[in-house]
Structure 1
Amino acid sequence: MTTDHRETGGAVLQLQNVSRVHGRGAAEVHALRGVDLAVRAGEFVAVMGPSGSGKSTLLTLAGGLDRASSGEVVIEGRPLGGLSRNAVAAVRRRAIGYVFQDYNLVPALTAAENVAIPRELDGVAGRRARTEALAALEELGIAELADRFPDEMSGGQQQRVAIARALIGERRLVLADEPTGALDSTTGEAVLATLRARCDAGAAAVMVTHEARHAAWVDRVVVLRDGRTVDPGTDVAGLLAGTDGGDAR
Structure 2
Amino acid sequence: MSETASAPPRPVLELRSLTRTHGSGTTEVQALRGVDLAVHPGELVAVMGPSGSGKSTLLTLAGGLDSATTGQVLIEGQDIGTLSRKDMAALRRRSVGYVFQDYNLIPALTAAENIALPRELDGVSARKARKEALEALTEMGLEAVADRFPDEMSGGQQQRVAIARALVGDRRLVLADEPTGALDSETGETVLALLRQRCDAGAAGVMVTHEPRYAAWADRVVFIRDGLVVDQTLNPAGAESLLGSIEGAR
Secondary structure at the residue paired with 2:12?
strand
Matching residue of 1:118: 118
Report the CA distance shift for 1:83/1:65 in structure 2 as closer, same or farther (over 3 A).
same
Matching residue of 2:19: 19
1:125-176 superposed Cα distances (whole Å, 9 cap, x missing partner): 2111111111111121211211111111110000000000001100100000
2:32 is aligned with 1:32: yes
Shift of 1:232: 2.5
Secondary structure at the residue paired with 2:51?
coil
Secondary structure at the residue paired with 1:194?
helix
Write the mapping of 1:104-143 to structure 2, written as runs, cut at 5 A.
104-143=104-143
Opposite residue 97 of structure 2, the aligned amino acid is G
> Does the 8 A contact of 2:95 with 2:171 survive in 1?
yes
Shift of 1:114: 0.5
Unaligned stretches of 5+ residues in structure 1: 1-6
Opposite residue 48 of structure 2, the aligned amino acid is M
Instruction: Give the distance between the partners of 1:8 and 1:149, measured in 2 at CA.
Output: 44
Shift of 1:23: 1.1
Write the mapping of 1:4-153 to structure 2, written as runs, cut at 5 A.
9-153=9-153
Secondary structure at the residue paired with 1:199?
helix
Quote the sequence identity (%).
Answer: 70
Shift of 1:237: 2.4
1:95-126 superposed Cα distances (whole Å, 9 cap, x missing partner): 00000000011111110001111111112221
Write the mapping of 1:181-192 to structure 2, written as runs, cut at 5 A.
181-192=181-192
> Does the 8 A contact of 1:32 with 1:54 survive in 2?
yes
Shift of 1:233: 3.5
Aligned residues: 240
Opposite residue 127 of structure 1, the aligned amino acid is R
Unaligned stretches of 5+ residues in structure 2: 1-6
Secondary structure at the residue paired with 1:20?
strand
Shift of 1:52: 0.7
Shift of 1:212: 1.1
Opposite residue 195 of structure 1, the aligned amino acid is L
Matching residue of 2:242: 243
Instruction: Give the distance between the partners of 1:135 and 1:245, measured in 2 at CA.
Output: 40
Shift of 1:32: 0.2
Secondary structure at the residue paired with 2:164?
helix
Instruction: Give the distance between the partners of 2:56 and 2:141, measured in 1 at CA.
Output: 27
2:221 is aligned with 1:221: yes
Secondary structure at the residue paired with 2:18?
strand
Q: Which shifted more, 158-167 or 230-239?
A: 230-239
> Does the 8 A contact of 2:63 with 2:98 survive in 1?
yes
> Does the 8 A contact of 1:223 with 1:234 survive in 2?
no
Secondary structure at the residue paired with 1:42?
coil
Instruction: Give the distance between the partners of 1:216 and 1:209, measured in 2 at CA.
Output: 11
Please tell me whether Structure 1 or Structure 2 has the larger radius of gyration of its CA atoms. Answer: 2
How big is the alpha-carbon RMSD for the aligned residues of Structure 1 and Structure 2? 1.5
TM-score normalised by L of structure 1: 0.93
TM-score normalised by L of structure 2: 0.92
Instruction: Give the distance between the partners of 1:238 and 1:70, measured in 2 at CA.
Output: 32
> Does the 8 A contact of 1:176 with 1:206 survive in 2?
yes
Report the CA distance shift for 1:37/1:8 in structure 2 as closer, same or farther (over 3 A).
farther
Matching residue of 1:3: none
Shift of 1:235: 2.7
Shift of 1:8: 7.4
1:24-65 superposed Cα distances (whole Å, 9 cap, x missing partner): 111111000000000000000000000110000000000010
